[in-house]
Amino acid sequence: MAKATVKPVVGVDLGGTKILAAVVDGENKILSRFKKRTKLEGGPEGLTERICQAVEGALVTAKLTPADVAAIGVGAAGPTDTAAGVVVTMPNLGIENLPLGKRLTDRFSVPARIENDVNCGTIAECRLGAGKGAADVLGVFPGTGIGGGILVGGTLLRGRNQAAAEIGHTVIDPNGPLCACGVHGCLEAYASRLAIVRDIAAAVGRGEASIAGEYIRPDGTNRLRSKALARGVTEGDKVITDVLERAARMLGEAIGSAINLLGCELVILGGGVTEALGSWLVNRVAAAAEKRALKIAFKGVRIVQASLGDDAICLGAALLAREALAENK
Amino acid sequence: MAKATVKPVVGVDLGGTKILAAVVDGENKILSRFKKRTKLEGGPEGLTERICQAVEGALVTAKLTPADVAAIGVGAAGPTDTAAGVVVTMPNLGIENLPLGKRLTDRFSVPARIENDVNCGTIAECRLGAGKGAADVLGVFPGTGIGGGILVGGTLLRGRNQAAAEIGHTVIDPNGPLCACGVHGCLEAYASRLAIVRDIAAAVGRGEASIAGEYIRPDGTNRLRSKALARGVTEGDKVITDVLERAARMLGEAIGSAINLLGCELVILGGGVTEALGSWLVNRVAAAAEKRALKIAFKGVRIVQASLGDDAICLGAALLAREALAENK
């Protein structure tokens, strides 16, 4: 089919800190991007409005109107009811059961597909990025939290309640640190950026010497982001590397266990923390995963870094929106 | 189709302590059973011979000859290469890459299907037993070890190396007891019968009062089986109940984590330990799993006891052998 006959779609990455919209053409090339910060103010209506503004911004940048695109796909940082087009919850933003699909369709008069963000990232990496050609895949995206995406035979594993692949809430140690979900010792309580920053801040609070002190203010604000973690590794900062070594080991424990359970052929590590730390993190995670996994389960398994960076979720959301169109025809 | 036109199949449960063969008719009724003990002596040849004797015993009991059956299915207590008809390993019996399918076909002149035993048990429970009608299922069978079986959309999840569903080797605590697989703190190191007996024997060794003392001889032999565990619970034996409470909690931790990962709708608890302890175990496992699972993932999930007892693996092996015949047609 000639490129000109396939309408572009808009893919939206709806994260806890930013909204990124991109216009994606029929060959999965990004024609334009538009970014807005996710804000707490305004509740569900305010958030919806900002998402619409991001979509419009991406369209205008690409010199397109809504009539020029075939669909909008959204990857949301939380569980979604894809069949109903609903963002089930984004607790940090006070979002519960937001019918975002309907809102976008009402506004732009095109079909809209709402999906979990890490599902989108995993799909994008498997179709276009580091996982091309793989069919049985686990995607793990450590960021503010830790999201997961699972492909079985090339198809997203959604699970009964469309809440599958929550590797961030698999147990590492029942007596471990308290997790945001309310129980102790989930992976997220060790290896999310929030947990990593918590442990580094505690060490700094105890008076241990670290460059992290430059990012943690006496007024309690904390500007320790993934890039500062990478700087700590590069400069051999003991506090930062010790905390990250443990986080990597625990990621490997959870991933090795998941390999034993799922029998996947490929694990893709993505998200901001992975992007900042690169092979330093991937190698440590892979070593710990290999140790936990049974020899027979680990044979031939590859653990790789995601390659699509910040575009992964937009691209996956766009891909899934396009696939949904094809299924409905 | 009339019953008379469908040939029976033989299903074999190849376990670490017993071999159970059953002739199963076209309506999945068991026509005969024949049991032999699994023996260490004789190596792979001796084991193959005993399996053949069990099959012959079941046939003779049902007044049938090999020509009367359509296929033989085997559920083996270890990883299998189903496509090649090979038992990959049964470490306790010194079995490595045993081409059991070919041996059975050579001997009985019928197609033979080799499958993992817990896969068989899970399939049987989902088609004929406690899981009838469920499509997304996790089967967990605590016994000498802890086996698992996973159905996604009604189909067995085999994984890249046909080694998926090894929930016994998912992490509970990286600093926990040493597991037979070589690393620390797998579920199996807490909740298999071997681990349970190890912990009870240690308490008895420390001089704690327990009926377990009746089963553990001064010469080191240990006759503590599942029925003795059930007796301990009934009689309120503190040593036994404490160890089992912990095992149940850890089973729940691993199952809750697996629900978060897989999004299954049903968990089936089977195996000898579950059969002996019944709802006492199932209720405790379910409570711990609910605590670990995310609310959204656990919604509507049922955790139930297997209902086919000792026949589950034979029936599942028979079902899968019949399905393989149908696929080849």
pLDDT tens readout for residues A76-119: 998 899 999 999 988 778 899 999 999 999 999 999 999 999 99
Q: Is the pLDDT of residue A1 over 70?
A: no
Residue A261: closest C-alpha in chain B: B165
**B264's tokens:** 């299954």
pTM: 0.94
pLDDT band of A247, cuts 50, 70, 90: very high
Q: Is the pLDDT of residue A40 over 90?
A: no
CA B124 and chain centroid, separation: 11
Which pLDDT belongs to residue A329?
Answer: 58
Please give the backbone phi and psi of residue B137, each rounded to the nearest 5 degrees, phi first. Answer: -135, 140
Q: Is the pLDDT of residue A241 over 60?
A: yes
pLDDT tens readout for residues B206-222: 999 999 999 988 777 78
| Overall average pLDDT of the A13-32 stretch | 95
Residue A71 CA to residue A53 CA, distance in Å, equals 16
Helix (H, G, I), strand (E, B) or coil at A164: coil
Q: Is the pLDDT of residue B1 over 50?
A: no
Residue B72 CA to residue B9 CA, distance in Å, equals 6
- For CA atoms B59, B63, B66, B70, give the dihedral sign: negative
Surface-to-core class of residue A209, CB atoms within 10 Å of its CB (0-12 exposed, 13-18 middle, 19+ buried): exposed
Averaged pLDDT score across all residues of chain B: 94
Q: Which of the residues B152, B169, B260, B301 would you substitute to probe the A interface, choosing the one with the greatest number of A C-beta atoms within 10 Å?
A: B260
Percent of chain A clearing pLDDT 90 (strictly above): 87
Within chain B, what is the greatest distance between any pair of CA atoms?
64
Contact between chains at B261 and A265 (C-beta distance less than 8 A) = no
Q: Is the pLDDT of residue A3 over 50?
A: no
Q: Which of the residues A86, A257, A285, A291 would you substitute to probe the B interface, choosing the one with the greatest number of B C-beta atoms within 10 Å?
A: A257
Q: Is the pLDDT of residue B329 over 70?
A: no
Characterise B255 by phi-psi region: left (phi > 0), alpha (psi -120 to 50), beta (else): alpha
A chain contacts of residue B292, beta-carbon cutoff 8 Å: 169, 171, 183
CB A9 within 8 A of CB A24: yes
Contact between chains at B136 and A262 (C-beta distance less than 8 A) = no
Which pLDDT belongs to residue B327?
Answer: 86
Q: Is the pLDDT of residue B195 over 90?
A: yes
pLDDT tens readout for residues B80-119: 999 999 999 887 788 999 999 999 999 999 999 999 999 9
Please give the backbone phi and psi of residue A96, each rounded to the nearest 5 degrees, phi first. Answer: -135, 125
B chain contacts of residue A181, beta-carbon cutoff 8 Å: 294
A chain contacts of residue B148, beta-carbon cutoff 8 Å: 261
Residue A311 CA to residue B108 CA, distance in Å, equals 59
Residue A76 CA to residue A116 CA, distance in Å, equals 5
Which pLDDT belongs to residue B3?
Answer: 47
CB A51 within 8 A of CB A12: yes
| Overall average pLDDT of the B256-281 stretch | 96
Q: Which residues pair with A178 in a beta bridge?
A: A184
Predicted ipTM of the assembly: 0.93
Q: Which of the residues A162, A262, A302 would you substitute to probe the B interface, choosing the one with the greatest number of B C-beta atoms within 10 Å?
A: A262
| Overall average pLDDT of the A273-297 stretch | 96
Residue A143 CA to residue A24 CA, distance in Å, equals 25
Residue B222 CA to residue B216 CA, distance in Å, equals 4
Contact between chains at B261 and A150 (C-beta distance less than 8 A) = yes
pLDDT tens readout for residues A210-227: 999 999 887 777 899 999
pLDDT tens readout for residues A155-197: 999 998 888 999 999 999 999 999 989 999 999 999 999 999 9
Which pLDDT belongs to residue A327?
Answer: 86
| Candidates A164, A299, A301; nearest CB to B262 | A164
Contact between chains at B261 and A166 (C-beta distance less than 8 A) = yes
Contact between chains at B148 and A261 (C-beta distance less than 8 A) = yes
Q: Is the pLDDT of residue A234 over 90?
A: yes
